């Protein structure tokens, strides 16, 4: 019986099932098209001044492809990318409960831990793919429209194109790991309620609340324990002298939150009465 149960709900089967869903196609499509939307928006502005120093990354977004990707991270990092993770993980169990199909999956039988693990793995794979799809598309669009130049920071530092590509890869990987706390929270909410919209919205609202609290300087060092405090620490890799401290703290904090929240999700799902 155990061997049969271990063959139920295989990763490939669940992945194909999720890829066919409209929300998967919509999220990946919007993520891939956002760089084009930004290019069109910049088309209404003035031509870039390649010699410009100072200002913000928005002012330098059209200088080169790496700068365009960096600006894209700033635009999407606080809102779109967390929503992507929240949607994929928030719908893992809650969507099955809302369709009244969860009890039938468990009756196949699919062990609860296997069901949760397989769905979380698929959600993680789709989240990572979509998160990495954005910088890939932004880089391609940036090279076509703005050229393969150096990454220029507002302070005047210039990182050669080759090194800036490596920095973009590191920044992309950091964003994937940093958003793991959203995955853990959305998964916990997904096993705790039967409405996917509530699970997704709860994770998104938690991120917004964390950003609001992080903006309150009166909280002092307590802000360092907020999950969004190190959201933009990836920008450090685009300096001539890289300081890895903030990024390391962001990785440890996010993975810590993810581990605790995922453990709570597993415990909650194992003890939950399935009625839908």
pLDDT for 52-62, tens place per residue?
445 577 778 88
Buried b (16+ CB within 10 A) or exposed e, 39-56: beebeeeeebeeeeeeee
Residue 64 belongs to what H/E stretch? none
- pLDDT-wise least confident of 12-21, 25-34, 92-101: 92-101
Examine the pLDDT at 241 and tell me if it is beyond 80.
yes
Sign of CA dihedral 88, 128, 223, 56: negative
Q: What is the pLDDT of residue 51?
A: 44
Q: What letter would DSSP give residue 116?
A: H
Q: Does residue 136 contact residue 35 with C-beta atoms inside 8 Å?
A: no
DSSP H helices in the chain = 2-6, 11-19, 22-42, 65-77, 80-90, 94-98, 102-106, 112-146, 161-178, 180-192, 196-214, 245-271
Closest by alpha carbon to 100, among 194, 19, 10? 194
**Greater confidence, 195 or 100?**
195
Mean pLDDT of the chain: 89
**Greater confidence, 156 or 216?**
216
Closest by alpha carbon to 239, among 231, 247, 228? 247
Closest by alpha carbon to 77, among 156, 174, 187? 174
**Greater confidence, 251 or 5?**
251
Q: What ranges do the domains of the chain cover?
A: 2-271
Confidence band of 242 (pLDDT split at 50, 70, 90) = confident
Q: Does residue 122 contact residue 14 with C-beta atoms inside 8 Å?
A: yes
With 0-12 CB in 10 A as exposed, 13-18 as middle and 19+ as buried, what is 213?
A: middle
Residue showing tokens 């062990």: 111
Q: What is the pLDDT of residue 272?
A: 82
Q: Which residues does residue 213 pair with via DSSP β-bridges, in sequence order?
A: none
**How many Cβ atoms sit within 10 Å of the Cβ of residue 108?**
12
pTM, full prediction: 0.91
**Distance between CA atoms of 114 and 137, rounded to whole angstroms?**
34
């Amino acid at each position: 019986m155990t061997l049969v149960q271990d063959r139920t709900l295989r990763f490939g089967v669940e992945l194909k099932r999720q890829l066919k869903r409209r929300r998967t196609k919509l999220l990946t499509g919007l993520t891939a098209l956002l760089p084009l939307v930004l290019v069109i928006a910049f088309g209404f502005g003035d031509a870039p001044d390649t010699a410009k120093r100072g200002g913000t990354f928005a002012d330098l977004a059209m200088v080169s492809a790496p700068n365009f990707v960096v600006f894209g991270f700033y635009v999407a990092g606080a809102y779109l990318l967390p929503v992507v993770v929240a949607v994929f993980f928030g719908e893992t169990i809650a969507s099955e409960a809302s369709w009244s199909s969860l009890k039938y999956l468990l009756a196949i039988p699919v062990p609860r831990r296997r069901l949760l693990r397989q769905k979380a793995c698929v959600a993680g794979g789709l989240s990572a793919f979509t998160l990495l799809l954005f910088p890939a598309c932004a880089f391609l669009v940036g090279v076509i429209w703005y050229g393969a130049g150096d990454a220029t920071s507002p302070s005047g530092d210039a990182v050669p194109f080759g090194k800036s590509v490596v920095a973009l890869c590191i920044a992309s990987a950091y964003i994937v790991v940093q958003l793991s706390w959203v995955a853990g929270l959305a998964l916990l909410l997904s096993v705790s309620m039967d409405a996917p919209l509530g699970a997704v919205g709860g994770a998104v609202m938690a991120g917004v609340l964390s950003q609001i609290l992080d903006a309150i300087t009166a909280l002092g060092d307590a802000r360092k324990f907020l999950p969004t405090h190190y959201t933009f620490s990836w920008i450090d890799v685009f300096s001539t002298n890289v300081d890895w401290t903030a990024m390391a703290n962001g990785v440890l904090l996010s993975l810590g939150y993810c581990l605790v929240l995922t453990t709570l999700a597993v415990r909650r799902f194992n003890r939950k009465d399935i009625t839908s």
